[in-house]
Each structure stands twice: as structure tokens, then as C-alpha cells.
Amino acid sequence: MQQGQEQEILRAATRLLHGELVAFPTETVYGLGADAENPQAVAKIYQAKGRPSNHPVIVHVAPDADLSYWARDIPEEARQLIKAFWPGPLTLILPRASHIPDAVSGGQSSVGIRCPSHPVAQALLRQFARLKPSGQGGVAAPSANKFGQVSPTLAEHVISEFPEEVAKGMPVLQGGAANIGIESTIVDLSRIGQGVGAVLLRPGHISASQIGQVLGYTPQLPDSHAPRASGTLKAHYAPRTPLMLFSSQELAEGKLQHRVPAGQKWAVCVFDAGQQPHTEGIDWFEVSNEPVQYAHDLYAFLRRVDQLGYQRICIQSLPEDHRWEAVNDRLQRAAAAFPR
């Protein structure tokens, strides 16, 4: 935490208490937060994001929060995963406590809860809980971006995405570049009581196999009864510039290079930009060949390239390896937003 940030955090927590929005850093991406127990405040998130109001948002809590205040039932699986991964980039979907408004759960009977590890997020959550008469405070927050767009990994991204809110005084707490860079892993445990085991709703930095090691079984993929999650929509996380994936073979055979129409400029991302010959219409960009670094860089990179005025962003397909599962998920969805 930066020196002198305590005052800013107190001001932000006070605004939350008064039903206003606050943007804050987490280790995954920046969040756009509101008091989770105040439906009018949560409605402001949907309005600012342009997000359909039937999509649930995650409730963020401090490490010392009383989980039974937020969840009706805390199955053993939840305790195991919390012990292993909290605070950190893991969201658990649990049966929701009755006082949690529909605005948070999207009308579903479950609630998504996450305890972030970022020190600024924790300081905000602690301060907010202290201001609440119950001593329990939760901050409902999706990623601080317009609906369907790339999540922010820097405070500057949030400021450029929400100029009106910032002009009206919304605090954007500074927390540097998000360490992880992609959204949390989401595991649904809301149907354990009905005999349905853990379901992986969204892959992330904490992998399915790490979760499997803790639970003793690999989480299943969502079925049609699994809770809805907007991050699981087919087209999501997209930059403004049309994005497409291409195979190493298409590149090696020169097929990609031949697709660039005359007069256009494409940004082409490869693992070895230094090896590529000068090609008319193409600017080569190098991306990390290591999945954790790739995730860290991805959204900031997409935002930067988005501003450079290319007609297309082309990204080399990722290795078929479970270590790439989370970034692959985001890239597949980003590409699905545009016809190839």
C-alpha cells in the first residue's frame, strides 16, 4: 500500500457506506464496487457497466469476515478450498444468506464470494466492515469495465473507461498493475447439499488440477443447471478491434500473411517476433511463452494495441496444455465476439 493511502481508503469506504461506487485494485483485475447489502448501490454498478441486471456479481470480503453472514451453508469443500487458496484469486459460489439482495445474486439462490489478497482491497474491505453497524461488510464488484469489454489491470484503465463516474467523484484506488491479470477462478459449490459436486464455472490462475488436489476429485464442467455466469458467455472479454486466432501452421505456410487486405495494418502476436520477416501490412508483437506471464500481460496488451488503430489483432494459438487453460478460455471468448 502507498503511504498516505489510509485517508483515501477511509474516504472510499465512507462513500460505499453512502451507497456510492468505488473502483479498487485486486490481484486479478480492478473491481467496480458497491455495498453488497444496498440494492440501489448495486444497481449503480449495472448502470455504469451497461450490464444486464440479471447477471450476478461477486461479493468481496475481508480475510476475517464471518462467512456465515453471507452464505446459508458452508460445505466442507468450501472450507478446504478457503484454507488452501484464500485470500486469493478464487471465487466460491455458495447458497446465499436470505438478506443478500437479488441485485447481487441476479435473482439466483446462490452468492459468489471472494476474499482478495491485494493489500489495498483488504484495507478497503476491513475499513468498510468497521463502518457497518453489523461489523460485516461485503463489496459487490464485477470487473471495472463496460459490459463485454476487456477487464482493467491498471487504475488508468478504469479511469479511461468510466470518465463520467470519475468526474462525479468516484474514487479509483491505486494499486499498481494487477499481479495476476485475469479474473478469478470460479468454483460452484452451491449444489453440494443436493449431491452435485464442485463445478468449475470459470478457469483462472488457480487451476482445475490444483482444486482437484485439495478436494480429492476434479471439478466438473458446467451442466445446464449450473448457475449462470456472464464471464461464461461465449463472446466476452473482447477488445474493440476485431480479434482472431491463427495456428502456427497458418503462419508457417504464409496463409495468415496473405489475408491482410491491401492498405490495412494488422497487429500479429507471436511467441517469436524476432524471427519473423518484414511483411507488408503486419506489425509483429511478441507475447510471453509462459502462461502466468502471458495472463499478466494480456489485457493491458489488448488495450494498448486497441488504441493503435489496427484493423485486426491476430493472436497465435496457445499450446494445448492445461497450464494455458485460463488464458485460452479468455482468448477463445474474445475471438468469438468477431466472425473470422
Instruction: Kindly state the smallest distance separating residue 141's Cβ from Mg ion, in Å.
Output: 10
If one asks whether residue 108 binds ligand TXA (CB under 6 A), the answer comes out as yes
Cβ nearer to Mg ion, comparing 25 with 95: 25
Residue 26 or 143: the one with the smaller Cβ distance to Mg ion is 143
Q: ∠ CA 193-199-203 to the nearest 5 degrees?
A: 150
Strands 312-316 and 243-246: parallel
Cell numbers placing 30: 480492478
* Sole window of 93-101, 104-112, 140-148, 174-182 interacting with Mg ion (rule: CB under 5 A): 140-148
Q: How far apart are CA 71 and CA 74, in angstroms?
A: 7
Query: According to the binding rule CB under 6 A, does residue 291 interact with ligand TXA?
Result: no
Please pick, from the candidates 143, 149, 174, 185, the single residue that binds Mg ion as defined by CB under 5 A: 143
Nearest distance from C-beta of residue 188 to ligand TXA, angstroms: 7
User: In the range 175-234, which residues lie near ligand TXA by CB under 6 A?
Assistant: 183-184, 186, 201, 227-232
Mark residues 114-133: x for contact with ligand TXA by CB under 6 A, - for none.
x-------------------
Query: 201: which 3 cell numbers?
Result: 464455472
- Nearest alpha-carbon partner for 198 in 179, 219, 216, 178: 219
Cβ(267)–Cβ(283) below 8 Å? yes
106 close to 228: Cβ distance less than 8 angstroms: yes
| Amino acid (one-letter) located at 298 | L
111 binds ligand TXA (CB under 6 A): yes
Residue 98: closest CA among 67, 57, 69: 69
Q: What spatial distance separates the first Cα and last Cα of the chain, rounded to whole Å?
A: 44
Q: 76-85 and 208-215 are packed helices; what angle lies between their axes, rounded to 10 degrees?
A: 120
Q: Which CB atom, from 143 or from 179, has the smaller least distance to Mg ion? A: 143
Site pattern 7..46 for ligand TXA (x: CB under 6 A): -------------------x-xx-x---------------
Minimum CB separation from ligand TXA for residue 185, in Å? 8
| Of 49, 54, 59, 245, residue with least CA distance to 149 | 49
105 binds, among Mg ion, ligand TXA, none (CB under 5 to 8 A by kind): ligand TXA
Binding site for ligand TXA (CB under 6 A): 26, 28-29, 31, 55-58, 89, 91, 93, 105, 108, 110-112, 114, 141-143, 183-184, 186, 201, 227-232
